[in-house]
Amino acid sequence: MTARPSVLLVCLGNICRSPLAEAALRAEAARAGIDLEIDSAGTGGWHAGNAPDRRAQAVALRHGIDISGYRARQVMAADFTRFTHIVALDEDNLADLRRLAPAGTTATIGLLLDHVPGREGQGVRDPYYGDADGFDATWADVSAGARGLVRAIAAGA
């Protein structure tokens, strides 16, 4: 791989799952000593400019990561050539990404949990409409996905 690996993590609104996945991936890449460009975005734009959900901020902080400075943004056409990997958090957003991908897309597009043995094809459940416990489950999922994705990138995938 000649370009510096770069990952865009994508969910629907970019205030719950994808910011947590961004935080988990940043932590895992740092632990592994891998230099990655990492960002997150949503397929929808209605939360653009907003900080992550307070429950997402709380679970990240419990794991030693402050995501209060993250700001939601919507996926842009330029992302499909800017990033080497665009990673959806669920099947619906994966389908949207494939639909939005312009001609000339160079990014590899896939699901986060495809990098977790036995979880291939599964999505990270959206905790937005549930209680705080759902965010703990989301953290566990995105952390497992981040570990697997870092292993895949380190192996040249």
Q: Where do the domains of the chain lie, and which CATH numbers do they carry?
A: 6-154 (3.40.50.2300)
Choose, from 17, 79, 90, 96, the residue flagged as catalytic: 17
Would you list the DSSP string of 111-140? EGGGGSTT-TT--PPP-TTS-HHHHHHHHH
In this structure, the number of other CB atoms found within 10 A of the CB of residue 142 comes to 29
Helix (H) or strand (E) holding 108: strand 108-111
Q: Are strands 6-11 and 85-88 parallel, antiparallel or unpaired?
A: parallel
CA pair distance 50, 15, nearest whole angstrom = 8
Rounded to an integer, the average pLDDT of 15-28 is 98
Catalytic residue among 53, 79, 96, 126: 126
* Rounded Cα gap, residues 5 and 84, in angstroms: 6
Q: Are strands 85-88 and 108-111 parallel, antiparallel or unpaired?
A: parallel
H/E stretch holding 40: strand 37-42
Q: Is 90 a catalytic residue?
A: no
Write the pLDDT tens digit of every residue in 119-156.
Answer: 999 999 999 999 999 999 999 999 999 999 999 999 98
- What is this structure's pTM? 0.96
What integer pLDDT is reported at residue 1 of this predicted model?
41
96 is catalytic: no
